[in-house]
Structure 1
């Protein structure tokens, strides 16, 4: 099997691949997290993941499998990105509280001349949360690098999530079982 490169600096994605006992190294290349405005919401994370994968693949050259992912949170047909600051994080979580949203992670695997790409969607329902709870979470956990301003494996996920439909690990940032299945196709 070719060496595997994870094109992500996310500690959560790294941890999930380690839990799956995948042997890999990490390489990150700065790529814009933008997309064409006409792109369907469901296609956005795959588009961004593909750009990340292509940037790293160009740097590592042949003989390597590159895995890239991007996660978006969607509320009422709007992509909710990473918060700009504390006020934005509080606003985002106030909008999510008491409602259903979707977490979509796009994954692209590249190896010499081949690509596997897919998106995984998980529905998430939040309990209503007070402003004090939301502000306390933001101040303690500083979720500024997280789509939707939260991490399901932190306090807010333990206390604030009413339920999910789909892959829990997708909400953490990588549908790792699907990634492992995709890697098995290339053995």
Structure 2
């Protein structure tokens, strides 16, 4: 445990696997943060706040005074934030909205300790092919969309719906590698005692 450089405030196996690609020594912290958008919040402000809330919850829960990385990903279509689907009907609604058109995936990443925090936001544009009702129902039956923002996972079976992206593939999965590494480097310059 003494060998870690930071904590990852996320139970997501995808974020854990992505952070491992940056060769950072870390330990996972499970935090419980309410994901509820305020009525006045723009989507970008919402996802930034969630990443900061997760990082700060991690700072409070961390057994050692090390920096904490928090991240959150949302799917946005026509200004509407598409959260995790409640049920099959909600998944149908979301995937029908995304069908045959472009949407945005926003991922915010925050690195924080008790005295400092830095946040970055990455927006990726994603295009879907046109989906048939049978495509959506079969995808729901796979179980994959049940706990995914926007009701799909680009790195899984949902990747077959994606015709192209403009931006960061890894951000759509849950943690943008280039931007996260740059954020960690910036934080190290700010508080060099850690990383």
How far 1:3 sits from its partner (Å)? 2.3
2:122 aligned with 1:132: no
Kept in 2: contact 1:35–1:48 (CA 8 A): no
Question: 1: distance between equivalents of 2:66 and 2:147?
Answer: 28
User: In the TM superposition, what whole-angstrom CA distance separates every residue of 1:123-173 from its partner, at most 9, and x where no partner exists?
Assistant: 00001011111111111133121100000011221x211100000001001
2:85 aligned counterpart, secondary structure: coil
Please state how far the C-alpha of 1:89 moved relative to its aligned partner: 1.2
Which ranges of structure 2 fall in alignment gaps of 5 or more residues? 189-194
The aligned counterpart of 1:47 is 49
Contact residue 99 and residue 128 of structure 2 kept, 8 A: yes
TM-score normalised by length of structure 1:
0.93
> 1:112 deviation in Å?
3.7
Question: CA separation in 2, counterparts of 1:89 and 1:142?
Answer: 11
Q: CA deviation at 1:61?
A: 5.8
Determine the C-alpha separation between the residues in 2 that align with 1:78 and 1:60: 34
Q: Distance in 2 between matches of 1:22 and 1:62?
A: 17
Cα separation, 1, equivalents of 2:64 and 2:17: 26
Greater CA drift, 30-39 or 143-152: 30-39
1:65 to 46, 64, 67: 67
**What do you get for the CA RMSD once the two structures are aligned?**
1.6
Distance in 2 separating the partners of 1:131 and 1:40: 31
TM-score by length of 2: 0.90
Partner of 1:164: 165
Query: Is 1:181 the equivalent of 2:190?
Result: no
Gaps of 5+ in 1: none
Report runs of 4+ in structure 1 exceeding 6 Å deviation. Answer: none
Asked if the contact 1:53/1:108 (under 8 Å) is kept, the reply is yes
Tell me how many residue pairs correspond in the alignment: 186
Moved more, 136-145 or 73-82: 136-145
The corresponding residue for 1:6 is 8
Q: Is the 8 A contact 1:35 1:47 kept in 2?
A: no
